[in-house]
Structure 1
C-alpha cells in the first residue's frame, strides 16, 4: 500500500470491497466501504498479515484532517489537493 497510487482497493471478508482514503502511518491506511462510504477501517499490513480495525466516522474525519495538516506542512501540494478532494466527497 503505497501513497503514490491513489486508487487502492482491498476485499474485506464481511463488508466486501473497500477503497483506500489515505495513508495514516507506516503500514497503516484508512479505508472505507466503496459505495456507501459510511463504514471506516484502519487497515494494518505487517508480517502477521492484514488487520482490519473498524473506526467511527468522527474518528476517521479527525484522522483525515490530521493527515491533511501533515501534508500541508510538508509542502506536497498535489497530494494535498487529491486528499482535500477525497475529504470533501467523503465528509461534506
Structure 2
C-alpha cells in the first residue's frame, strides 16, 4: 500500500486502488468522485471489473482492516484506516 496504483476503466476512465480485497482481487474507485467502486480481478480474458455499491465497498475495506489487525500487520492497518476515513467518512 506504499504506492498508488491506477487502472483505466473502458467506460469510467481512471480508477485508483483503494485496497487489496483478497489474493488477485482489488478494490478500485473512480478517481475524482469516489462514488463508483469496482472489484477488479484477473480473468480469463484479462482484467474483469465487477461494479459494487458504496456500502459493499465499505464492508470490503472494513473486513480487510479486521484481517490486517488480527494478523498483526499494524502499519498496513493504519494506512488502510486513513484510506477508509478519506473515502467513506
The TM-score, its normalising length taken from structure 2, stands at 0.94
Give the root-mean-square deviation of aligned CA atoms: 1.2
Match runs of 1:40-79 below 5 Å:
40-79=37-76
Question: CA offset at residue 25 of structure 1?
Answer: 1.2
The residue that corresponds to 2:16 in the other structure is 19
Question: CA offset at residue 13 of structure 1?
Answer: 0.4
The TM-score, its normalising length taken from structure 1, stands at 0.91
The residue that corresponds to 1:35 in the other structure is 32
Question: CA offset at residue 76 of structure 1?
Answer: 0.8
Aligned equivalents of 1:54, 1:46: Cα separation in 2: 15
Q: In the alignment, does 2:75 pair up with 1:83?
A: no
Give the gaps of 5 or more residues in structure 1: none
Shift >6 Å, 4+ stretches: none
Give the gaps of 5 or more residues in structure 2: none
